[in-house]
């Protein structure tokens, strides 16, 4: 069977996400090397440039993966296995690749040293906004409005709102800081997880015997709770910026609601994992890793939701550990969708990338986050409590940074092996049909 434009575009978007993910892993490793004080390549780039480049690569990687998963999810519900406007999708996909290439070139040339969490240049943000609207319209016009598609669309809509907020003009430094926090929070804590949860519940039907009715009910309830948790996570940094009693009171609910939302999602996933069908793809493994990352992140966030503790935690590696885990929770879902879709386009339910990259990525991501958290704890007690100087503390935690670097090397190796397997076992023309 010849693959349709929709299938090729979906696979291409997921492959693009994987390439960007490997680049993100490489840049993250260079950033880690800088904290070891090593000479050579790691110190030849400005830290802010590398940090901004990593953030942009992560954003484009996640959006590429979520869009590719959304396209594939939409076309599997159609008899023709294609979107309603294939010619338009082909051009939108090609132009998206142009945007990605230009953004990567901008990062290489040091043009992305913008505001933290909003590093993309304004023209790129406008282009990103247009692409998100086009992809959402293509999918909504192609697929039945079932609950996973609806939740995925709400997630992408939240991303559109986040980009718009980031583009709004600001009149003062305080307004700019507030805008950054809200825009990045909407994108990272509401848009990403909602679209990822939609893909996760769609994937559950691929590897589990759960009923469509259970999926439809579960995706709505979990998405609603995760949206509330995302709103609390978005508001969380505002406690220090605005010093408002109302925000502090609202965040007190986050101590319970944030972990509860992700624990309920994990319970739904456990039910699906407990009722496996005969499929042997690794989508279930990646979803389990993603749920673990989110639950641990939620526990971190619950601690950080306490205003008295947030004063000590803000600006430390604990926050970075929380962000790394949350991002990899989303990325794990994307890797599961890539694995599942590639297997189906090859006409087989067998593994595509194998267990080796899974365990390497899982070990690298979780260990790096744990080591960052340990460094954050040292910072809290030595900098914030014992008033030891920042540079002195940084020297004391170099051993933790060394282990962190090793974990990132393991992570990068796992991503490269995944990428090579994904490429070598890519779908060929004439593969079997995709099941609905």
**Complete DSSP assignment for 133-185:** HHHHHHHHTTS---HHHHHHHHHHHHHHHHHHHHHS--SSHHHHHHHHHHHHH
Range of the domain at 20: 5-424
395 CB-near residues (< 8 Å, 6+ apart): none
What pLDDT, on a 0 to 100 scale, did the predictor assign at position 54? 85
Answer yes or no: is 60 within a domain. yes
Q: How far apart are CA 417 and CA 328, in angstroms?
A: 17
Q: Cα torsion at 192, 194, 200, 202 (round to 10°)?
A: -130
Reported residue count of the chain is: 436
Q: How far apart are CA 302 and CA 299, in angstroms?
A: 5
Q: How far is CA 330 from CA 145, 280, 424, in A?
A: 23, 22, 24
The b/e string for 348-382 (b: 16+ C-beta within 10 A; e otherwise) is bbebbbeeebbebbbebbbbbbbbbbbbbbbbbeb
Residues of the chain whose pLDDT is less than 50? 39-42, 431-436
Name the 3-class secondary structure at 341.
Answer: helix
Name the 3-class secondary structure at 118.
Answer: strand
Tokens representing 44 are 């030849």
Answer yes or no: is 430 within a domain. no
What pLDDT, on a 0 to 100 scale, did the predictor assign at position 430? 53
Q: What is the CATH number of the domain that holds 84?
A: 1.20.210.10
Answer yes or no: is 250 within a domain. yes
What pLDDT, on a 0 to 100 scale, did the predictor assign at position 224? 95
Q: How far is CA 272 from the centre of its chain?
A: 22
What pLDDT, on a 0 to 100 scale, did the predictor assign at position 11? 93
pLDDT, one tens digit per residue, over 160-200 is 999 999 888 877 777 787 888 899 999 999 999 999 999 99
What secondary structure letter does DSSP report for 82?
A: S
What total number of domains does the chain contain? Answer: 1
Answer yes or no: is 436 within a domain. no
**Pick from 92, 14, 55: nearest CA to 339:** 14
Answer yes or no: is 433 within a domain. no
Q: How far apart are CA 394 and CA 378, in angstroms?
A: 10
What pLDDT, on a 0 to 100 scale, did the predictor assign at position 432? 44
Answer yes or no: is 434 within a domain. no
Name the 3-class secondary structure at 225.
Answer: helix
Q: Is 196 left (phi over 0), alpha (psi -120 to 50) or beta?
A: alpha
Answer yes or no: is 302 within a domain. yes
Answer yes or no: is 429 within a domain. no
What pLDDT, on a 0 to 100 scale, did the predictor assign at position 240? 62
**Pick from 64, 66, 177: nearest CA to 117:** 177
């Amino acid at each position: 069977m010849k693959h349709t434009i929709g299938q090729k575009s979906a696979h291409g978007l997921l492959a693009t996400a994987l390439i960007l993910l490997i680049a993100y892993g490489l840049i993250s490793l260079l950033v880690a090397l800088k904290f070891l004080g090593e000479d050579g390549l790691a110190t030849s780039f400005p830290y802010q440039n590398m940090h901004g480049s990593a953030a942009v690569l992560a954003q484009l990687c996640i959006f590429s993966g979520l869009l590719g998963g959304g396209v594939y999810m939409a076309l599997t519900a159609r008899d023709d296995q294609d979107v309603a406007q294939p010619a338009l999708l082909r051009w939108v996909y090609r132009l998206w690749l142009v945007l990605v290439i230009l953004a990567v070139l901008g990062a290489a040339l040091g043009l992305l040293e913008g505001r933290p969490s909003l590093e993309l240049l304004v023209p790129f943000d406008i282009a990103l906004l247009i692409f998100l609207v086009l992809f959402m319209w293509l999918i909504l016009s192609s697929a039945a409005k079932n609950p996973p598609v609806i939740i995925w669309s709400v997630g992408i809509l939240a991303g559109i709102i986040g980009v718009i907020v980031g583009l709004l003009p600001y009149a003062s430094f305080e307004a700019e800081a507030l805008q950054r926090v809200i825009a990045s929070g909407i994108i990272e804590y509401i848009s990403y997880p909602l679209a990822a949860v939609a893909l996760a519940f769609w994937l559950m039907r691929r590897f589990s015997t759960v009923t469509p009715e259970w999926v439809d009910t579960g995706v709505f309830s979990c998405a609603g709770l995760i949206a509330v948790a995302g709103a609390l996570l978005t508001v969380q940094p505002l406690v220090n910026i605005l010093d408002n009693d109302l925000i502090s009171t609202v965040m007190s609910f986050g101590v319970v609601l944030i972990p509860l939302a992700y624990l309920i999602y994990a319970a739904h996933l456990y039910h699906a994992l407990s009722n496996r069908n005969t499929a042997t793809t690794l989508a279930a493994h990646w979803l389990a890793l993603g749920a673990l990352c989110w639950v641990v992140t939620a526990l971190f966030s619950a601690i950080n939701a306490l205003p008295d503790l947030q004063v000590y935690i803000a600006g430390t590696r604990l926050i970075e550990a929380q962000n790394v885990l949350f991002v990899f929770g989303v990325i794990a879902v994307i890797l599961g969708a890539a694995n599942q879709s590639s297997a189906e386009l090859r006409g087989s339910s067998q593994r595509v990338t194998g267990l080796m990259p899974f365990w390497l990525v899982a070990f690298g991501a979780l260990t790096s986050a744990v080591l960052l958290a340990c460094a954050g704890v040292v910072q809290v007690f030595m900098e914030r409590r014992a008033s030891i100087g920042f540079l002195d503390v940084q020297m004391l935690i170099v051993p933790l940074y060394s282990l962190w670097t090793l974990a990132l090397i393991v992570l990068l190796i796992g991503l490269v092996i995944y990428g090579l397997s994904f490429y070598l076992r890519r779908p060929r023309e004439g593969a079997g049909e995709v099941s609905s």
